[in-house]
Amino acid sequence: MVKIEKIKNNIVLPIYAFIFAFFIGGLVIVFSDPEVMSNIKSPGKFLTSAGAKIGNAYLAVFQGSIYDINLARGESFFKGFYPLSETIVTATPLILTGLAVTLAFRSGLFNIGAQGQFIFGAIGASYVGFHFDLPPVIHPIASILAGVFLAGIYGGIVGLLKAKTGAHEVIVTIMLNYVAGFFILWLLKTTLFLRPGRIDPIAPEVSENSRLPLLLGKDLRIHAGIFIALLAALFVWWLLAKSTLGFKFRAVGSNANAARSAGISIPFVTTLTMVLCGALAGLGGAVHVLGTEHALTSGIGGSLGFDAITVALLGRAAPLGTVVAAFLFAALRTGGVTLQSNTGTPAEIIQVIQALIVLFIAAPALVKGIFRLKNTSAEKTLTAKGWNG
């Protein structure tokens, strides 16, 4: 019965959050469209035009993120799945950075530093990728390991500071995000990383041998990184659900005082948690460079590290939920481009929908009240740490 209730909380609430968010997003689309609002004095015409506007908008999101029949006309049926391949490409680093935040949540920590850890992972993978000349199979593995190691150390700094000095991980990770952002700006101006013949901050492209293999040919960007991301999610699930170490993580996350009384070393768990979180985010950075970007730039991280917080919240601090949430947010992001080009609706509407989803997930009193959903243990940890919901 408890397991059924947990599944209900972890699956049903995000579904209802999406429904509510898309409903309100539809209202925003309608009320921001002058043509639709010009019919407001005629209820029948207004409802018809409003329904058509919302339908066309969300159809455009579907076509831009899952399947576009226009691409398949006159060519192969599978050509229409190009948007889905882009969604998967976008979701890959989101899964890994989301897992970095999820693991911290389950251990009673807030890893707001996935952005900085992602950047350091990208730096490590990029350096090994363009500086060394290794065989095809060994080179990507060495590049990934370099990124994972570097980011793991960077994340471990946070855990060590918290364990030894009591420094709050939220403050430390936020500050280290700034450090990473400015560090990569400086690094790309050095002779070590600056591409020969260029003055703009961009590193040399990683060698062909170090790049992750494409899965469906050169016309599609989907690469082997998606399998790495899914294996990482499986590892985090096993770690938390099946291993002794994962039990310690969850015990500290649920009640640190009780865990300490049971003989669990809180400093050890805190430090190791942040090392693993940094490694996961760094893996995302490495996969991003070796899979799609192929060259380190100052904006390599984009907003992936911060989107990871949203993904982890939507995923209810569970590995499987994080994977699903990453795909959903990737679909919204890729679909937003088609939304604007096909319907003229501002792509910022997608950001409004994302914000609403986070609102309903992080502070879901209305949803829980209507559907009688109880707090999960992960949510209780978040609430105890100062997050409402």
Query: By CB neighbour count within 10 A (0-12 exposed, 13-18 middle, 19+ buried), where does 265 fall?
Result: middle
Tokens of 152: 């793991």
C-alpha pair distances (Å), 332 with each of 92, 131, 328: 14, 36, 6
d(CA 192, CA 201): 12
Q: What is the pLDDT of residue 10?
A: 59
The C-alpha angle with vertex 155 and arms to 151 and 156, in degrees rounded to 5, equals: 115
Q: What is the pLDDT of residue 388?
A: 45
d(CA 10, CA 242): 19
Tokens of 379: 């949510």
Tokens of 320: 């499987």
Q: What is the pLDDT of residues 75-111, one digit of tens each?
A: 677 777 888 999 999 999 999 999 999 999 998 898 9
d(CA 362, CA 388): 7
Q: What is the pLDDT of residues 201-227, one digit of tens each?
A: 889 999 999 999 998 888 889 999 999
Is residue 389 pLDDT above 60, yes or no? Answer: no
| Lowest mean pLDDT across 13-17, 123-127, 337-341 | 13-17
Q: Write the single-letter amino acid at 357.
A: I
Q: Quote the mean pLDDT of the chain.
A: 85
DSSP 12-67: IHHHHHHHHHHHHHHHHHHHT-HHHHTTTTSHHHHHHHHHHHHHHHHHHHHHHHT-
| Lowest mean pLDDT across 21-25, 90-94, 128-132, 269-273 | 21-25
d(CA 182, CA 84): 34
Contact 318, 233 (CB under 8 A): no
- The pLDDT-based confidence of 129 (bands split at 50, 70, 90) is very high
Q: What is the pLDDT of residue 382?
A: 47
Q: What is the pLDDT of residue 362?
A: 65
| Lowest mean pLDDT across 157-166, 185-194, 332-341 | 332-341
Decide which of 355 and 213 is more confident. Answer: 213
- In the chain, how long is the greatest CA-to-CA distance? 71
Is residue 275 pLDDT above 60, yes or no? Answer: yes
Q: What is the pLDDT of residues 286-299, one digit of tens each?
A: 999 999 999 999 88
Contact 224, 287 (CB under 8 A): no
- The pLDDT-based confidence of 376 (bands split at 50, 70, 90) is low
- pTM, to two decimals: 0.86
Q: What is the pLDDT of residues 247-271, one digit of tens each?
A: 998 898 888 888 888 888 899 999 9
Is residue 233 pLDDT above 60, yes or no? Answer: yes
C-alpha pair distances (Å), 95 with each of 91, 102, 109, 154, 320: 6, 10, 19, 20, 10
Residue holding tokens 């058509």? 52
